[in-house]
Each structure stands twice: as structure tokens, then as C-alpha cells.
Structure 1
Amino acid sequence: MADWLICIDDTDDIGTKGTGEIASEIAELLQQADASAKVSFVTRHQLYVHEDIPYTSHNSAMCFAYSGTLPLANIRALAIAHLQQECADAADPGLAVVNLAELSDEAALRQFGLRAKQQVLTKEQAYLLALQLQISLSEHGGTGQGVIGALAGLGLRLTGNDGRVKGQIQLGQGEQPLQYCVADVLARTGLDAVMTTDGSWLADDETVWLAGKVKAVWVQGKFALLVSRNALGWSNASKQELKEY
């Protein structure tokens, strides 16, 4: 078994299937191809929004972990075939794959990801770093500009403190808040923990109130439901509070 991170970026266009959905489909295909595999939640990593950077709506990369027996060649073949099938015609998709056990300089990759949140980077910079760190980085249509975000997404995931989990948690979906025990939330969602916006972890026997769009984040190396205090008690974080991730 080997532990991998896989990230894609710039696969969509207005009105087409989103990059997060395509990433989830690749994760599912890997699971199907390798019965012993484990795949993680997909995380969305916000990158720099600038007039010199083409993007569809928010400029974000999508990353997930795969632990399994498939070698790099098989992982790439599966991912590339799906990208070629599902990417929008106007997209500039990039794919990055790294074997974590063979990553020689994690700090350099994390730093690239953090820079991509604050400045305009180039394909040349991405390819140079990927070559230095022996990371598989490739483009699959258009300008291939998505390689920058794909590589950056790997680095941001490795920080352990960046990214929202793709999609919504299927609890408390209505407008009326519903009360849940933390242990029940974790059992029903597969999340690791519940964390408050001030950085505290809630115990299993504490309760939270959930309503509307319930989102999880990647924080301190855990998939966590983010909550903040209001009149009811601990409630799922607001859209504004989630923007930090």
C-alpha cells in the first residue's frame, strides 16, 4: 500500500461539470479499480484571484488522498482518461500526483501552495518544482495552465490547514436548526472531529445545532465540522466564517 495525493485544476467552464465533481469521480474510479483502497474526502483549495489568472468562477483546485496498491502509471491512466472524457472543451486542465513516501521536500511544496494564494505563478515555476521533487505533473488540454493550481493544491493540502470539504454534510439541511451529539455527527458523516472557530475541539458528548448548508473543513490535519457560538449554543459556521478556508 502507498499513500498518494492527487489534485486537479481548471477542468470546467460555465455550465459544465465542476472540477470538484470530476475529482470525486476519479476518487470513486480508483476505489473501484482497487478494492483494498481508501480514498479521502475531496478538499477545495482557494487560489489567488487576479486578472492575469484565467479561471471559471473562484479559481480553486481540488485534492484528495488515495491509499492503495495501484502504481503511478495506473493512477495516471485512470485519471487522464476521465479528464479527457469529462473536461470542458474550453478548459486548461492540469493533473498532479505525488507519492508521499517519496516526497523529498514537503516544505518546498507547501510553500509553493501558499504562494499560489497570494501571487501569480507560472507553468515554468510549477514544472521546475515538480521535476525537483519528482512529482508527476501534466497538462491535458488548452493552455495547460491548470498545472499551476494542481501542484499548488497538493502543497495546500499538505499544510493541514487549508481547504473546505467538497459538498455539504447531509445533516440539518432544513431552515429549522436540529440538535446533534458530536459523537453522532462523527459516526454519521465520517468526519474526524468538531472544531470551534476559536480552535477548540468539542468532546463527543457535547451537542451542536445544525441548519442550512453544513460544511466541513481541513484543519490541523483533520476533517472537521466547523462551529461557532450563537444563542442556541454551538452551531455550524456561517458562510463568512468558512471563507478563511
Structure 2
Amino acid sequence: MTVFAGVDLLIGIDDTDDQFSPGTGRRARTLLRELAEAGLGSEAGATRHQLLVDDRVPYTSHNSSACLAWRSPGGDPHAVRYAIIEFVARFLERVCPPAADPGLAVAVPAEVGDVPALVDFGRRAKREVLQRAQARRLADELGIHLSGHGGTHDGVLGALAAVGLQLSGDDGLFITLPGLGDLPYQATVEELRAKVPIDDVRDAAGRRPGPGEQIELGDWVRPVLLDGRAVLLLDPPQERPDGPRSWRTAPRSVVKKH
């Protein structure tokens, strides 16, 4: 079982802020909480995806978008799909500033007509300047809801790309997971997994903490999406000849490359 077990709806959002307002990551966390409070299901987490940084692309600071992984009540996405689309649309129109160009994509992953085409679109958005018409055409072909909710609607590009990149299983970092905001400063792997649905904990060489070995988590814990799994990346361990190894999470500069 992976972090995405039971996920039956993906919600992509982009271009939700301006230079004076909360970023898309914070918007995603707030949206997940409000969706749950509305009784529309439960969250599996949300991932951040870095898109093309280019002067030809309007963006606020980093040009990243977010994809929210959602579990519908009773495992029936069709029972809540339209309610979620309406709820998120109202949310974006309520919280986004006038200068934002928010976009929304909602997909049932099991029913996406051509997943490789959607993944390819997401990867192209990381290296090419794309057009809104391309996003709308692809969404129509694949049966994905796509809509703009302010400004130029440019956010539809990043919203659709975020869904494709999360479906790729190999892009982005988790801006939230259940329990991620309540972690202690340090923990063992066993203690960590008791609080957060993380699939793997390792360093770049594939070494993993042993039972009882402590991991210094610090105040910024962001697992990355690798092989469809939530993986917490670590620095190489501090070896101790007379005791257990000690570990700490990889720095932001390493995590944000994903």
C-alpha cells in the first residue's frame, strides 16, 4: 500500500496568488481542510510541481502548481465530483486576489483516457511555453474538468500540468500529508510512520535508518514523489563507532530539485 492508496480524485490548482498574498501551497492546505470539513471526503496529501521559469510565462514567484490527492466518501468519486468542482471553484473565486489568474483541473485518475498524454503535457510544461487552448483541448479529449476562475485563466495550464505530473509518480514534493504539521523535532522511522503515511525513508545511496536510530527532522519536512511513493530523503548518516547512527533530513536545495 502506498500513500495514494484509495485516491480516486485529483484536483489541480495554479496561479492562485499575487506577490502580497499566500502562495499556492498554503491555498492547497487550506482547501484540503475545508473540503474535509464540508464532508466531501478525506485527503491523501498534496504535491508541489515546478513548472517552466521563463520571462515569457507570467508567474508570481516560482511558477509552481499543486495537485491535491483526494479520497471520496465510500470510494465513489462520481457521487461528489460535481460538488467538489463547485466547492473548489467558489473557494478560488473567494480567496484569490484580483491580480491572480486561477485555474482548476479535476480528474478521476482511473478514467483518464490517455495517461501518457497527460503526463507528457505536464513534463512539457516544465520546459516549454504552452497555450491555454492546448490545455483545454487535451482536457476535453481526456474527460478532465478544466476551468478558469479569474483574470486571464492562465492557471488552467499549471492546474492540468500538476495532475499529469502527480500521475507520473516521479515529480514534485509533498507540501502536505496527514500529520505532517505535527511532527516532533526528531523521531525514529517507526515513530515517523506512526504519524505520517510515508512509504520510504532513505538517503541518496539507498541507506535506511535501522530500528531505534534517530532522524533529526527539523522544522521543514517535505517528502518527495518517487516511483509513485512518498519518500523522505535523508543526508548520509553520521557514523558512530560506539552507538547507533544519527540521521537528518536532506536540505531544501536537494528536496526542491524533485
* TM-score clears 0.5: yes
- Give the distance between the partners of 1:204 and 1:31, measured in 2 at CA: 35
Equivalent position to 2:81, from 38, 62, 72: 72
CA distance change for structure 1 residues 146 and 193 in 2, over 3 Å: closer, same or farther?
same
* Structure 1 residue 33 displacement after superposition: 2.5
Q: Which residue in 2 is equivalent to 1:15?
A: 20
1:144 aligns with 2:153: yes
**Aligned-residue CA RMSD in angstroms?**
2.2
Go from structure 1 to structure 2 and tell me whether the alpha carbon gap of 1:99 and 1:200 turns closer, same or farther (over 3 Å shift).
Answer: farther
- Aligned partner (choices 107, 120, 140) of residue 131 of structure 1: 140
Aligned residue in 2 for 1:117: 126
Aligned ranges 1:53-92 → 2 under 5 Å = 53-69=57-73, 70-92=79-101
Of residues 21-30 and 148-157 in structure 1, the stretch that sits farther from structure 2 once superposed is 21-30
TM-superposed deviation, 1:110:
0.5
How far has the Cα of 1:50 moved from its partner?
Answer: 0.4
Question: Cα offset for 1:214?
Answer: 2.9
Q: How many positions carry a matched residue from both structures?
A: 239
Cα pair 1:186 1:193 within 8 Å, conserved: no
Question: Structure 1: any 5+ residue segments left out of the alignment?
Answer: none
* Letter paired with 1:101: A
Provide the rounded CA distance (Å) in 1 between the counterparts of 2:220 and 2:194.
19
What SS does structure 2 have at the residue aligned with 1:40? strand
In 2: Cα distance, 1:202 partner to 1:117 partner:
33
Q: Normalized against structure 1, the TM-score is what?
A: 0.89
* Cα separation, 1, equivalents of 2:199 and 2:181: 13
Does residue 158 of the first structure (1) align with residue 167 of the second (2)? yes
Q: SS of the residue aligned with 1:143?
A: coil
Q: Distance in 1 between matches of 2:206 and 2:144?
A: 33
Deviation of 1:205 after TM superposition, in Å, equals: 5.2
Contact 1:193 1:225 in 2 (8 A): yes
TM-score (normalised: structure 2): 0.85
Instruction: Output the CA distance in 2 between the equivalents of 1:29 and 1:23.
Output: 10
CA distance in 2, matches of 1:226, 1:52: 33
Quote the Cα distance in structure 1 between the aligned partners of 2:210 and 2:113. Answer: 37
**5 Å matches for 1:23-34?**
23-34=28-39
Give the distance between the partners of 1:99 and 1:203, measured in 2 at CA: 38
Using the TM superposition, give the Cα deviation of residue 32 of structure 1 relative to its aligned residue in structure 2, in angstroms: 2.0
Q: 1:199-214 maps to which residues of 2 (within 5 A)?
A: 199=206, 206-214=213-221
Partner of 2:43: 39
Is residue 190 from structure 1 mapped to residue 200 from structure 2 by the alignment? no
Q: Which amino acid aligns with 2:250?
A: A
Amino acid at match of 2:15: D
* Structure 1 position 55, deviation (Å): 0.4
Aligned mate of 2:236, from 229, 232, 243? 229
Give a deviation string over 1:121-142, Cα, whole Å, max 9, x none.
1101101110110100000111
- State the identity %: 39
